[in-house]
Amino acid sequence: MRANSVAISRFLELGKKKQTPRGGPKRYLEQPEALAVFLDITIHFLREEFETLQQRRQHLRSLAHQSQPSHDVWRTVTEYFRLIRHGLHFTSNQVEYIRGMTAPNVVFNAEYGPEAIMQHWFFVKWFGDVHVELKGWEMVDGESIIAVTTTSVTITQHTLRSVFPHLRTTDNSDRNRRLAEQLLNQRLAMRGSTCFDWDGATGLVTRMTTQSDMLAPMLQLLGSMKDVSLVFEQALISPEFQWKRMLYQSVFPLRPSSAKYSPLLSFIKEGAGSELGHSS
């Protein structure tokens, strides 16, 4: 909205009529009619400024709203990390929540189905004292959230036996034994992220991509890139803290189309999963 052009014209016209050599702007504004016109112009100017500020405020609110994840996806992500903060223990609450928050054909890294998520956490239990902390988040493309995490684990005898079995072989035994001794009982803190793709129509997660930097703390621990390469060379886990596909296909071959209780859950229900308790 622009200041009233009629009022401005009237103000200028009055100025020409009333101004004297000794008058000046101050004396001119003391005239009631001139003061009324001046105030009218000022009011219009302030209204224009007010509307501009209102539009600016609405724009900033819109930007802030766009940078915030929807309530549903944020609540889903925070609850997920709350439930798995000490790893997945396959309680009914954990299993039902993972199944309920994801699409039946959810993509998890290179695998499919909620079972792949549970497999990942089953293997993570091969480490000791698992702790996952949600550090922050970033909204991407309006429908995705990247959650920033720190995952801390302890390398135990069970870890060496299950994740780094080549360090316990007789080949190059002296060096392998030394590396195994260096790793045993060490605590690794890994920075990582998990991207959640969200389907607003169904209210379900359709894709999860997760990774953590295991390379940096391992290098800090061993002090040699050559030793780090040897540790990961035949390990069942990658420097990105991702499990080799052979594990998914050979240890627990699951399919999204499996029965209500997957082979993994049946395995645990039958008691074979009790070895999880020996991870320390």
- pLDDT, tens digit (0-9, with 9 covering 90-100), for 166-184: 998 655 578 888 999 999 9
**Cβ-contact 92, 117 below 8 angstroms:** no
pLDDT of 219 higher than 90: yes
Residue 250 binned pLDDT confidence (cut-offs 50, 70, 90): low
pLDDT of 231 higher than 90: yes
CA distance 277 to 262: 21
pLDDT of residue 212: 95
**Cβ-contact 196, 147 below 8 angstroms:** yes
Average pLDDT of the chain, as a whole number: 78
pLDDT of 1 higher than 80: no
Beta-strand relationship, 111-112 and 128-140: unpaired
- pLDDT, tens digit (0-9, with 9 covering 90-100), for 69-90: 456 888 999 999 999 999 999 8
Beta-strand relationship, 204-212 and 102-108: parallel
